[in-house]
Structure 1
Amino acid sequence: MSAAVLHSITADRGALRRRRVRNLLVAILVPLIVAGAYFAGLAGAEARTSAIPAMIVNNDEMQTPTAPDGTETTVIAGRLVVSALTDPDTATGFDWQLANAKTAKAALDDGSAYVVVTIPEDFSARITGIADEGATPATIDVTTDQSHDYLSPAIANGLSDALTAQFGTQVTEMVAVQLFDGIGQTATSLRDAADGASQLADGGTQLGSGVAQFADGQSELSTGLVQSADGASELSTGVTTYVSGVGQLSSGITQYTGGVDQLSVGITQYTSGADQLAAGVGQLAQQTPGLRTGGQELTDAGTQLEGYSSAVTQGTATYQEQIRPALVALNNSTEGLVAWCAALADPTLKSECETQLEGLAGTTGGVDGLVSTLDGATGELTAVTDGATDLKALGAGLVTLADGIDQLNTGATQLSAGSSSLTAGASDLATAGDELESGATQLVTGGTELEAGASALATGLGQLRDGQQLLVDGVAPIQEGVGELTSGASQLSTGLSDGAAQAEDAVGDPDALAEVVANPVQANQAMQHEVSFGEILTALILPLALWLAALATTLMRRLVPTEAYASMASNARILLDATRRMLLPLAAVLLAVMIIAHGFVGVPVGAAFATLGLGALCAIALIGLHLLFTTLWGRRAAAVASIGLLSIQVLAMRGLVPLELKSPFVETLSGLLPGTHLAAGLQLAYSGGSASGVVMAAVGLLIIAAVSFAAASLVIGRRRRSKPSLVAGLAAGRRELVAA
């Protein structure tokens, strides 16, 4: 046997030995990886039994019941429930957090809370009234959601039983103590009430006597009020008549005052005229000396006229210079006095003035004639000389005229003095008239107010009379009521005494009270987004089936042949060919699981589109993940890595057991594994849960697929660039082996 053959045989045996060792190591390593993954994923699960997130919504309202002895007690039963659940020493299996109703509902919908315990508003009210007639048990609402976890509702059911049992015992003890204490206090209170009712009966008798006396007094008062009302009515009538007379008096005083005012005005005018007359006559009297002197001279001149024509001429000049102006002034003054007298309003004053001026009027007429005569005489000196006798007579008349003017001046002065007194009297009369008018006005005002007061008094007394009559009429029913009160108080006293003797045996409805006291606290369990066992089984099995199909395909087929690295194909083309090699087995598995789930297990046919869509995305993500492992380490190492991740994937799916019970590294890796997103999406789709959660599951699968394919493409490119000759040699050897 040649050395070459011996070397070949030895080499083949070495290779076979190494292959057996490698296979043995793989056979030992794979179970160890799976077991290690499970141990690591579930290590410390017992210590994390209180890490499951749950929320408490405490809507309870505080109650302050009053005991029979008057003491008040504050009851906040809801706070006791919260304290018991959040107590670190109480093992409930949940991590309780306080929240409001809106926050708790959102957390339950998105899976961040597994259980929501709601304490209603009337929890304390029902606890404090548990021994009352018609009482109902207090309730606690426990709500779970199966769209994220299947077994949490079962844990919550156990929690509900524990809560009702724990608080039911406490409430039963409290009710029993209150009930028996209340019975004793009720008996004592009934006896006290009986004593009070007896005293009430005695007081009712006394009240009846007092009411009878009150009725007599009211009857007498009613009679007096009737008489007072009649008198007030007559008073009102008399006051009305008085006010009417005062009004007429006021009207007459007003007219009188107006006449006094007119008289005062007339007297003022009269006084003014008298003053003017005195002034005019005074001025005329100032001319009388010249008039008297001229007359005397005229007489003397007449005597001498006959012999002294020059004296006539001189007398004529004297007449023109002194006598004639005085005569003209006298005539003018007389005419003014006549006009003033005619304008006087007072008849008495006017008559007296006219009497005084009658003589003056004759004198003024003579003066007028004299002036005319003298005027003619001044032009006829010859005639004057011839009429010397007449001239003497004229001189004598002038002297007489001067004397009359002096008398007229004296009378005018006396008339002016009398008019001043008359003016003062008229002023006093006007002042008194004003005061009289003011008093009459006040009298009218007072009379009007007196009339209004009398009318109001009459009306008020009438109303008081009517009200008093109603009061008298109401006394009779009061007397009857007092009698009934006395009788009822006696009966009440008797009944309360009997009730006090029977209070120890009276506890209401024993059966109803026993039922409520036996179960004082109840839990109302509600489950939203409920899923069947077949639906949760499908959500868990489909990811595992697709993963196993991808693992088996990786082991059975060369996904990326060695010659592909040396080919001219692009990285994307190489990955596309590898995807086609894995696609058929995974599609077959997906179709088979869908037929079983929707045809036999009971998953609704309407959810088939969700199963198909999410399953297809998960299959693509798994293909990308296994292609990445294959390009990195080869298919055998890729299979080992796939089995290890599959073990973690089984732990990471939260369909049966809450993810919070598993180790932190499982929680971290769960979001990076495609089966987690597929199981969560299917569970939400089957239960009718959040549509956004289904969309997020699909987005998560797409991200895993995109990242896996991109990383596989980078690995292929790196290997093609790092060792191109080795890749070409391996490809050539592969072709020769295939040809042989």
Structure 2
Amino acid sequence: MTVPLVFAAVFMWAMWDPTETLEDLPVALVNNDIAAGTGADRLAAGDEVAQTLLDSGALKFDAVDSDTAKAGLAAGDYYFVVSIPSNFSTTLSGIGGKTTAPALISITYNDNNTLLASSIGDSVMTAIRAEVVKGTAGSSVKTVVAGLDELSSGIREAATGSGQLHDGTSELSAGASELAKGLQNELVPGTAEAADGGRQLADGTGQLASGLTDLRAGTDELGAGATELADGIESIVGGVDAKGIAAQLAALKRALPNDPSLRGVVDELTGVVDGLAQLSSGSREIANQLTDPNADYRSGVNELVAGSIELNDGANELSTGLGQLNTGAQEAATGAAQLADGANQLDAGAGELSAGLSDGARQAPELGDDVAQQSLADLLATPVDTKASNVAAAQFNGPGAAPLLLILLTALVPLIVFMCCKPLRASASQPRRMSLRTWLRRVAFVGGVSLLASAACTAIVWVALSPSPDPAELGKTLLMVAAATLMHTAVIAVMFAIGGYVVGAVTALAGIMLQMFTFGGVWMIETVPGLLKWLNPIMPMTYVREGFISSFNGSPGFWSALVIVVGIGVVATGVHLLLVRERAPHDEPLAAGSQPA
């Protein structure tokens, strides 16, 4: 009666609140987040969340990389892994724009290691998530959402205006290009030709003015000669009475006989006299025309010279102006080309602005109704959420329950086999010795039946769980099932040998229950009372669990666990042999329907 009471008290002691010691629970923390933005807009939310988790003290977080966390979870060094993804900051920075779902923090459990770590970890992470998003409320964020809606409308209007601007800049660009081509290809060559013509005209008018000046000088010389000639003619003709001579010749002609030859001579002489008079008058007129500035010829020459000088001055001014016009046309062509380039750049910029605003308008959230606004408000109120996954879930008949079931079955099956048989028991009243052959026969019988029963139970586990367990190393799993079954058979045999059928069965069952609290497969060993923690290294199930963790997860440590399990079985078998061979009766009768054990 004492043993069950003691174990009952221990069990009651073990049923305390495990959440009081969760700060000792080793959990891997992986921060893969890449900061978003630069400068003042840089957001490194992953670092902030990681520091919040480390400072919270809710769990014993260990900041490691992904590979270390994965290996630690497989080896059972960590109860679960908390991972901050690489796009965590990017997702948070996009809230109100392209982000439509909260930034997720991934939590990875593995029920192959410990049954309750996932459920307790889930409740703890729920509280931590609340701590991360604390301070944000949907009611206050909705004001921001309304502002975002107005901003979205403004962006769409700006996108429409930028499209119109782009149309205008396209026309401006086309016009500037045409202007540049016209100036370069038509105006500049025309003004160049005009400038050349102007220079040629100026040269011609200069030559004309020079020639006319020479003409006036020649006229002066000719006038001087003509005056001298007129004076000479007058001096010669002035002493001749032309009229008297003409009258005498006329009288002579009348007096002459009607001789044609004589009359012809008189006519000729009369003509000579008239010519002398005309010569004198004409030479004087020529001299006057050449020298008198009021004369038609001389005044015309003077006016022509003056006009040619003015014409030359105007031609020179025209040539200079045409040269300046050509230079201006070239500068205008260069400026037009620059204007065309600038217009093209302006058009390209307007196109990019239009495209960017159009993309922004398309990406801007449509928040015109209360439902859409409330949806984004909820997102802003809970920008961070958690996403849990389990390498091998145990709930709802999941494959993660297989290690715990196999550990429990390898202990219960030998106990049930022993309870179906009449066990050997050490006795001080009859110290006769049992033969080794008899002992081996009974041990082989119980061990064989236990192995067969464990194999059948293992097959049932594989069929009952859905999906079926898929250990990384099936051979090692089956080897550990066999070794754990034989080890428990040996340990339970010792208890039956010492305590007998009733006390041995109760003691063995109490021992199994005690191990359920201390081996770490159900309750995390960090959460149990201090005394039970001390029992963990000496409990056989502890090493059976380590072997199954290794075989199911493919982590190191299987062979060391197997050696310890086999060693415990060998030691217990040796103790059992010593107990029954030294104290057991030689030929104790079997109970009806029972087999020796």
TM-score range, shorter chain: 0.5 to 0.7
Decide which of 451, 454, 475 is 2:336's aligned counterpart. Answer: 475
**Separation in structure 2 between the aligned mates of residue 619 and residue 179 of structure 1, nearest angstrom:** 64
**Separation in structure 2 between the aligned mates of residue 676 and residue 46 of structure 1, nearest angstrom:** 22
SS at match of 1:49: helix
Name 1:548's counterpart in structure 2. Answer: 415
CA contact (8 A) 1:86 1:96 kept: yes
CA contact (8 A) 1:57 1:116 kept: yes
Decide which of 504, 518, 535 is 1:652's aligned counterpart. Answer: 518
Structure 1 residue 31, shift from structure 2 partner = 2.4
**Separation in structure 1 between the aligned mates of residue 506 and residue 158 of structure 2, nearest angstrom:** 90
Name 1:558's counterpart in structure 2. Answer: 424
Name 1:55's counterpart in structure 2. Answer: 28
**Separation in structure 1 between the aligned mates of residue 8 and residue 147 of structure 2, nearest angstrom:** 64
CA deviation string 1:534-583 (max 9, x = no partner): 636633540341353366378x32245779965495xx768635524643
- Correspondences of 1:341-352 after superposition (within 5 Å): none
Structure 1 residue 63, shift from structure 2 partner = 3.6
What amino acid does structure 2 have at the position aligned with 1:525?
Answer: A
Q: Does 1:105 align with 2:57?
A: no
Q: Does 1:615 align with 2:481?
A: yes
Over 3 Å counting, the alpha-carbon distance change for 1:733 and 1:75 in structure 2 is closer
Q: Does 1:690 align with 2:551?
A: no
SS at match of 1:620: helix
- Correspondences of 1:550-589 after superposition (within 5 Å): 552=419, 556-559=422-425, 566-567=432-433, 576=440, 579-580=443-444, 582-583=446-447, 586-587=450-451, 589=453
- Correspondences of 1:91-490 after superposition (within 5 Å): 91=58, 94-133=59-98, 136-159=101-124, 161-162=126-127, 167=132, 170=135, 472=333, 475=336, 478=339
Decide which of 515, 519, 524 is 2:375's aligned counterpart. Answer: 515
Structure 1 residue 658, shift from structure 2 partner = 2.6
**Separation in structure 2 between the aligned mates of residue 606 and residue 221 of structure 1, nearest angstrom:** 87
Name 2:9's counterpart in structure 1. Answer: 36
What amino acid does structure 1 have at the position aligned with 2:388?
Answer: Q
Over 3 Å counting, the alpha-carbon distance change for 1:525 and 1:164 in structure 2 is same
Structure 1 residue 124, shift from structure 2 partner = 1.6
Decide which of 389, 403, 406 is 1:539's aligned counterpart. Answer: 406
Name 2:244's counterpart in structure 1. Answer: none
Q: Does 1:528 align with 2:391?
A: yes
What amino acid does structure 2 have at the position aligned with 1:522?
Answer: D
SS at match of 2:24: coil
Root-mean-square deviation (Å): 5.8
Over 3 Å counting, the alpha-carbon distance change for 1:602 and 1:697 in structure 2 is farther
What amino acid does structure 2 have at the position aligned with 1:674?
Answer: P
What amino acid does structure 2 have at the position aligned with 1:108?
Answer: L
Structure 1 residue 111, shift from structure 2 partner = 1.2
- Specify every segment of 5 or more residues in structure 1 that has no aligned partner in the other structure, as ranges: 1-26, 67-71, 229-464, 497-502, 721-726, 736-740
What amino acid does structure 1 have at the position aligned with 2:536?
Answer: S
What amino acid does structure 1 have at the position aligned with 2:416?
Answer: A
CA deviation string 1:611-647 (max 9, x = no partner): 7543332232123324545667777765565344223
**Separation in structure 2 between the aligned mates of residue 528 and residue 662 of structure 1, nearest angstrom:** 25
**Separation in structure 2 between the aligned mates of residue 46 and residue 662 of structure 1, nearest angstrom:** 10
**Separation in structure 1 between the aligned mates of residue 376 and residue 549 of structure 2, nearest angstrom:** 40
Of structures 1 and 2, the larger Rg is shown by: 1
CA deviation string 1:232-268 (max 9, x = no partner): xxxxxxxxxxxxxxxxxxxxxxxxxxxxxxxxxxxxx
Structure 1 residue 212, shift from structure 2 partner = 9.1
**Separation in structure 2 between the aligned mates of residue 659 and residue 130 of structure 1, nearest angstrom:** 42
Structure 1 residue 169, shift from structure 2 partner = 6.0
Name 1:669's counterpart in structure 2. Answer: 535
SS at match of 2:412: helix
- Correspondences of 1:487-502 after superposition (within 5 Å): none
**Separation in structure 2 between the aligned mates of residue 675 and residue 190 of structure 1, nearest angstrom:** 68
Structure 1 residue 168, shift from structure 2 partner = 5.0
What amino acid does structure 2 have at the position aligned with 1:149?
Answer: T
Query: Sequence identity, in percent?
Result: 19
CA contact (8 A) 1:164 1:521 kept: yes
CA contact (8 A) 2:550 2:556 kept: no
Name 2:51's counterpart in structure 1. Answer: 83
Over 3 Å counting, the alpha-carbon distance change for 1:675 and 1:130 in structure 2 is same
Structure 1 residue 45, shift from structure 2 partner = 3.1
What amino acid does structure 2 have at the position aligned with 1:706?
Answer: V
**Separation in structure 1 between the aligned mates of residue 101 and residue 144 of structure 2, nearest angstrom:** 17
**Separation in structure 1 between the aligned mates of residue 188 and residue 534 of structure 2, nearest angstrom:** 100
Structure 1 residue 649, shift from structure 2 partner = 1.6
Name 1:704's counterpart in structure 2. Answer: 568
CA contact (8 A) 1:543 1:678 kept: no
**Separation in structure 2 between the aligned mates of residue 120 and residue 130 of structure 1, nearest angstrom:** 16
**Separation in structure 2 between the aligned mates of residue 538 and residue 52 of structure 1, nearest angstrom:** 24
**Separation in structure 2 between the aligned mates of residue 219 and residue 473 of structure 1, nearest angstrom:** 13
SS at match of 1:62: coil
- Specify every segment of 5 or more residues in structure 2 that has no aligned partner in the other structure, as ranges: 196-325, 590-597
CA contact (8 A) 2:115 2:404 kept: no
Name 1:445's counterpart in structure 2. Answer: none
What amino acid does structure 1 have at the position aligned with 2:104?
Answer: T
CA deviation string 1:376-427 (max 9, x = no partner): xxxxxxxxxxxxxxxxxxxxxxxxxxxxxxxxxxxxxxxxxxxxxxxxxxxx
**Separation in structure 1 between the aligned mates of residue 89 and residue 66 of structure 2, nearest angstrom:** 19
Over 3 Å counting, the alpha-carbon distance change for 1:731 and 1:512 in structure 2 is closer
Structure 1 residue 733, shift from structure 2 partner = 12
SS at match of 1:55: strand
CA contact (8 A) 1:598 1:604 kept: yes
CA contact (8 A) 2:424 2:496 kept: no
**Separation in structure 1 between the aligned mates of residue 82 and residue 459 of structure 2, nearest angstrom:** 39
Structure 1 residue 107, shift from structure 2 partner = 0.9
**Separation in structure 1 between the aligned mates of residue 14 and residue 344 of structure 2, nearest angstrom:** 89
Name 2:310's counterpart in structure 1. Answer: none
Structure 1 residue 734, shift from structure 2 partner = 8.9
Over 3 Å counting, the alpha-carbon distance change for 1:648 and 1:521 in structure 2 is same
What amino acid does structure 1 have at the position aligned with 2:508?
Answer: S
Structure 1 residue 98, shift from structure 2 partner = 1.3
Over 3 Å counting, the alpha-carbon distance change for 1:147 and 1:117 in structure 2 is same
Over 3 Å counting, the alpha-carbon distance change for 1:734 and 1:110 in structure 2 is closer
CA deviation string 1:146-188 (max 9, x = no partner): 2112333334444555555554565666965765677899999
Over 3 Å counting, the alpha-carbon distance change for 1:557 and 1:609 in structure 2 is same
What amino acid does structure 1 have at the position aligned with 2:3?
Answer: V
What amino acid does structure 2 have at the position aligned with 1:521?
Answer: V
